[in-house]
């Protein structure tokens, strides 16, 4: 059996929660800093272009045309697999978000896929796919 010197035990139990708190604070700081670099997608946001960077980190962080950075939360469409937009979209896909709309369209191989920002769409009988790129 391993013996532990009792004089170091209180130091360990004090250092453990302090170390945990430091790790949480530093991690939260860097995550918030990264999120602030990305504009939150709202009803009034408008953009379109090729997805050039994509990361899911509690939110979906995407970069369009190597310059515009956007952030959106919880967006699912159960008609697709995978149904979470962060897992569904890929670098190289084309994305469109029109002003005054809560919809975002992802184009993969000229097929149009539909998501509503911040919503979970449940599976429906017909999938919303279109070969029309407009």
Q: Are residues 13 and 76 in the same domain?
A: no
Contact 76, 114 (CB under 8 A): no
**Tell me: the pLDDT tens digits for 75-108?**
889 999 999 999 999 999 999 999 999 999 999 9
Q: Do 55 and 7 belong to one domain?
A: no
Structural domain count, the chain: 2
pLDDT tens by residue, 115-130 = 998 888 886 654 455 5
Mark whether 62 and 109 lie in a shared domain: yes
Q: Residue 60 and residue 134: Cα distance in Å, rounded?
A: 24
Write down the pLDDT at residue 1: 52
86 Cβ neighbours under 8 A, 6+ residues apart: 54, 56, 60, 75
57-80 pLDDT, tens digit each: 777 888 899 888 898 887 889 999
**Could you tell me if 57 and 108 lie in one domain?**
yes
pLDDT in tens, 9-59: 777 888 888 888 888 887 776 666 666 777 788 889 999 999 999 988 777
User: Which residue segment(s) compose the domain that 3 sits in?
Assistant: 1-36
Q: Which residue blocks in the chain are alpha helix, DSSP H?
A: 9-36, 85-88
b/e sequence 23-42, b meaning 16+ C-beta within 10 Å: eeeeeeeeeeeeeeebeebe
Query: What pLDDT, on the 0 to 100 scale, is given for residue 131?
Result: 53
């Amino acid at each position: 059996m391993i013996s532990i010197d009792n004089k170091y035990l209180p130091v360990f139990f004090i250092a453990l929660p302090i170390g945990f708190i430091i790790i949480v604070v530093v991690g939260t700081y860097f995550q918030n800093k990264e999120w602030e670099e990305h504009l939150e997608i709202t009803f009034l946001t408008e953009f379109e272009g090729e997805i050039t960077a994509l990361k899911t980190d509690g939110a979906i962080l995407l970069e369009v045309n190597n310059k515009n950075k956007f952030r959106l939360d919880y967006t699912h469409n159960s008609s697709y697999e995978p149904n979470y937009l962060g897992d569904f979209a890929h670098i190289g896909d084309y994305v469109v978000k029109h002003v005054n709309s809560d919809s975002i369209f992802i184009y993969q191989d000229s097929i149009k896929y539909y998501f509503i920002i911040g919503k979970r769409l449940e599976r429906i009988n017909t999938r919303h796919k279109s070969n029309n790129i407009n």
